[in-house]
Structure 1
C-alpha cells in the first residue's frame, strides 16, 4: 500500500496567521496609541541575509508592524552594535529586536544576543527565554521550532503519546523543538551527526524532525511508514549541468513522500512559518507591555 504523503503547507498557514495578526494589530493600534515595532539589525552585506531582512520588513508592513531597521557596514565594531541594542532596549516604540545572523567573524554574536532585553527578544534566543522554555513558563519562543509546533497543531497532529526523534541539536532549532515536543507529551530522542545507527533511531519515530543543514540526509529507508516528517533544513544546491541553484531540505523529498503520511515541503513548509512566528512574537511582546 503506497500512497503519497499529505503536505503540511506552511505557506498557506503563514498567510492565514498573518491575516489574523493584521486584524489584531488594526484593533490594538488605536487602543495602545501606536503600532507594534520590530527592529532588525544587520551587519555587512551577506546577500542571503539581505534577502531575509527585506522579507521580514515586507511582512511587517503587511501586518501593520513598524520597522526600525539598522544596517551597519561590514567593519562595524562590537561597541557600535552593542550601543544600538542598548538604544533599542530603551526605545518605547520597539517591542522586538532581532540581530540577523550570521554576523561577520570579528563580532561576538552570543554577547550581542545576550544584550537584547529578554522581553524584546523577538527570536526567543536569550538565555532567559530558553530557561523559560525549559521550565514551561510563558515567554518568547524561538521562531522556527515554534512555527513547527503551530504547523502540527493546524493539521490536528497531536504529539501526545508519540515517539519523536529530532535530528540536530542546535540552540536555534534542535534543542528548543525537542523541549516543545516534550512539553506536548511526546517521548523525545535527540539524535545528531555522531549518533551511531542513525537510521535505526529515526525509524522508531512517529514524528521525525530533520534540522541538520545537510541536503537529502534523511532517505526513505530512515523513515517509519506512516510517520510525520518535518524538514527544517534549507540548503541551496547548484545543478552542475545548468549552473542554476535551488533550495532543498534535509529530507530526500521525492523518496520520502511515498513512505511518510505527512511531510513538509522545502520551500513552502517550515521556512514560511519562521517569519510569521517572528511577527507573532513581536505582537505578543507588544500586548504584554500594555497589559502590565
Structure 2
C-alpha cells in the first residue's frame, strides 16, 4: 500500500513557520497585504478565493477581495490593477483565473507589478525562474516542491514525468525539478505512446485536468505520484489519477482533496510575505 502524502499535515506545519515570519514583520509595523481580483461568478473561482481569504484571516495577513462584474472590459480591469500597484499597503496582487472570454488575459497578467506578482505569472518572473534566479514561484509548483522536500523525497537523478504543459503548473514545475537535478519529461496532448513514457517515471505528476486519467497500467511499480487535478464527479472531487487503482502500485501518492491543494494556498501566503519583505528592504534602501 502506498504512503499517503498528506498535504493538510504538511501545510499545517508550514503554517507555523509562516506565522513566525508574519510576527517578525509586525514587530517592524509591517502588515503583509494581499489583494485578490475576482471577476464574475464562476463557482470554482469563488470557492478558491474563499479558501484564500480564510488562510489570510488565520495568519493575520491583510486581505482584500475586489469583486468585479462579469461584463467588465480589459481597460476597466487594468485601471483597477494600476490602483492596486500603487498602494503601499498591498504587497501581493492575484488575479483569479480563468477570466471571462472578452478579457485580454495576457495583457492583464502583464499589468501586475512584477514585485507584487505573487502568482509568479508575469513574464519577468517567468524568465527569472527559467534562469534559476530568485523570484516569485507559481504557488502550485512551489507547493509540490515543498511537499517533496518535506517528505524527504530527493529528486536528484530521478526521472520526473509531468503530464501537462500549462504555464501555471507544467512548465514552471519542470524548471524547478531541473534546478534540483531531476531528469524531466513533459508530456502533452501530442505525446506519442503516453503510457509508455509515464511508465518510465520515478516521479509522475498529473496536471492534465481530466478525472481519473492516470490508471494503473500507466505507472511504474514503486513510483511517486503527485496528483494536481481537481475534477468534480457529481458531488465528489477526484483527481487526475485513479487513486484506488494507482495506490496499489505506487510507493507514495497524494490524495484529492487534501494533497497539493492546501500547499498551494500556503505558498500564496509565503509569496505574499516575501513581497512584503522585499518592499521593506526597498524602503530601507531609500
Q: Is the TM-score greater than 0.5?
A: yes
Conserved? CA contact 1:13–1:151, under 8 Å? yes
- Quote the Cα distance in structure 2 between the aligned partners of 1:212 and 1:48: 17
- Quote the Cα distance in structure 2 between the aligned partners of 1:127 and 1:151: 26
Question: How far 1:193 sits from its partner (Å)?
Answer: 2.0
TM-score by length of 2: 0.97
Corresponding position of 1:154: 150
Corresponding position of 1:125: 121
Q: Say whether 1:138 aligns with 2:128.
A: no
- Quote the Cα distance in structure 2 between the aligned partners of 1:171 and 1:10: 22
Question: How far 1:19 sits from its partner (Å)?
Answer: 2.3
Corresponding position of 1:208: 204
Corresponding position of 1:221: 217
- Quote the Cα distance in structure 1 between the aligned partners of 2:228 and 2:40: 26
Q: Which residue, 62, 76, 87 being the options, matches 2:58?
A: 62
TM-score by length of 1: 0.95
- Quote the Cα distance in structure 2 between the aligned partners of 1:86 and 1:268: 35
> Mean Cα displacement is larger for which, 18-27 or 280-289?
18-27
CA offsets 1:154-183 (integer angstroms, 9 cap, x no match): 011010010111110010101111111111
Conserved? CA contact 1:19–1:63, under 8 Å? no
Q: Say whether 1:271 aligns with 2:261.
A: yes
Which 5+ residue runs of structure 2 have no aligned equivalent? none
**How many residue pairs are counted as aligned between the two chains?**
282
- Quote the Cα distance in structure 2 between the aligned partners of 1:181 and 1:34: 33
Corresponding position of 2:39: 43
Counterpart secondary structure, 1:229: strand
Conserved? CA contact 1:22–1:62, under 8 Å? no
Q: Say whether 1:22 aligns with 2:12.
A: no
Question: How far 1:104 sits from its partner (Å)?
Answer: 1.2
Corresponding position of 2:278: 288
CA offsets 1:13-61 (integer angstroms, 9 cap, x no match): 1121122212221221121x23000000011111211111111011011
Q: Say whether 1:199 aligns with 2:195.
A: yes
Question: How far 1:224 sits from its partner (Å)?
Answer: 0.7
- Quote the Cα distance in structure 1 between the aligned partners of 2:258 and 2:103: 32
Q: Which residue, 94, 98, 114 being the options, matches 1:102?
A: 98
Question: How far 1:144 sits from its partner (Å)?
Answer: 0.4
- Quote the Cα distance in structure 1 between the aligned partners of 2:142 and 2:271: 10
Structure 1's consecutive aligned runs of 4 or more residues displaced over 4 angstroms after TM superposition are none
- Quote the Cα distance in structure 2 between the aligned partners of 1:123 and 1:274: 10
- Quote the Cα distance in structure 2 between the aligned partners of 1:188 and 1:47: 34
CA RMSD of aligned residues (A): 0.9
CA offsets 1:94-146 (integer angstroms, 9 cap, x no match): 11000011111111111101100011001111111110110000000000011
Counterpart secondary structure, 1:71: strand
Conserved? CA contact 1:168–1:192, under 8 Å? yes
